[in-house]
Amino acid sequence: MNTPKNSPVTSTPAPKPQAHDRSHYRVWRPITTRWMDNDVYGHVNNVVYYSWFDTAVNAHLIEQGALDIHAGSTIGLVIETQCNYFAPLAFPQTIEAGIRVAKLGNTSVRYEVGLFEQGAPTAAAQGHFVHVYVDRQTRRPVPLPSQLKTTLETLL
């Protein structure tokens, strides 16, 4: 873009993220908060939310037989992550993590996760992360294994 000197550059601000409701997600996983999750401000520290994203998605994939974290030849590496916060969560609470797949590629997947206070209609936090699936040894991208792809397709 060529902008003359001293000419203001205008841009449209990004729309403010809105909390999704439960219908946005395909499968659910309960997560129990722990005493150590709270920070000095009395709510769950922001870094814990990312751990919950990983826990919800990977536990589902392991339960479905789509991921073998110990001996599988294919592993997922996170290349992008993001989270928006709408309401505080704190110990002691049970969190309900909703999971869906927003985009399924040949070697990658974008997961979206909503974290809900138990029974709440809208997410207290929501975010996404992108996994690129790679060969465990070479760390080079590989096509999604068939069982993984089948499992992910149910989350679209």
Q: Which helix (H) or strand (E) holds 150?
A: helix 146-153
Please say if the pLDDT value at position 5 is more than 70: no
Pull the structure tokens for residue 27: 């499968």
Percent of the chain with pLDDT over 90: 90
pLDDT in tens, 68-97: 999 999 999 999 999 999 999 999 999 999
pLDDT in tens, 16-65: 999 999 999 999 999 999 999 999 999 999 999 999 999 999 999 999 99
User: Band of the pLDDT at 2, cuts 50, 70, 90?
Assistant: low
Domain range summary for the chain, segments of one domain joined by +: 22-153
| pLDDT score at 11 | 76
Please say if the pLDDT value at position 117 is more than 60: yes
Q: Which among 8, 52, 58, 9 is positioned nearest to 31, based on CA atoms?
A: 52
The CATH number of 22-153 is 3.10.129.10
